[in-house]
Structure 1
Amino acid sequence: MKVLIACEESQEVCKAFREKGHEAYSCDIQEPSGGRGKGHVRTMGVKMKNIQTAQKYKPGQYIVSLDHLMEQERIFFMGKIVNRSWFVNWQLWYADLALSKLDIREAVKTEEEHETKNQI
């Protein structure tokens, strides 16, 4: 039987299922303390991290040049926040097309804006 054990950071339950002959996988937002054995999936953590990151940013001004795009650490692309490691691999024609359609915006950190308002 295939089994997915959620919120299982120690890997003990997953190991017990495997010992009984099951195809077991574990999933957690933390790295496993029981060693990164086979069958540990971190998609739950990655998804949570993306949600937390998106909440810290809001769409800023439109990006209209490749130079401006390459200066960014994160951007909003088609309504979602995207990390630099993803968009630096775009082919130039694709990036240029997205820029011309105004599909790309700066990702402005919301905490900085909040801090600035409190200082005034």
Structure 2
Amino acid sequence: MNYFSKNIKFLREERKLGQSDLAKLLEVSRDNVASYERGSIPKLDVLVRIVNLFHIDLKDLVEKDLESIPPSEYTLAADPGIPYQRTPQSEDLTLESLQKLVEIQEKYIKTLEEKIKAGSKAKR
């Protein structure tokens, strides 16, 4: 299961950031942050900024429900002043996480395309 959108909102609220605040930190629009929280997957460069901002492994961000588990069970630096120390993982795990994100994004795009197609047929 993909917990990305739920985790983005959880991490943002945990840090007491508004969507606009997070958008500035990620160098995206507030609408982008809102769409990530609704299920849209950001581009890879934004994903990297999210991982670095929250000091969390991509695998944890995507595959764990961070809200329902204690912080000791995921990799998160509580103090933003502490440099991010990525837990050792094989390249396969990171690639696997990215592939899952791509698959989800492809499904999301397909769903949007179908909605657009259905909407244009309804207007005819």
Q: Highest Rg: 1 or 2?
A: 1
Task: Please give the range of the TM-score, normalised by the shorter of the 2 chains.
Answer: under 0.3
TM-score for the superposition, normalised by structure 1: 0.25
Q: Which protein has the bigger strand share?
A: 1
TM-score for the superposition, normalised by structure 2: 0.24
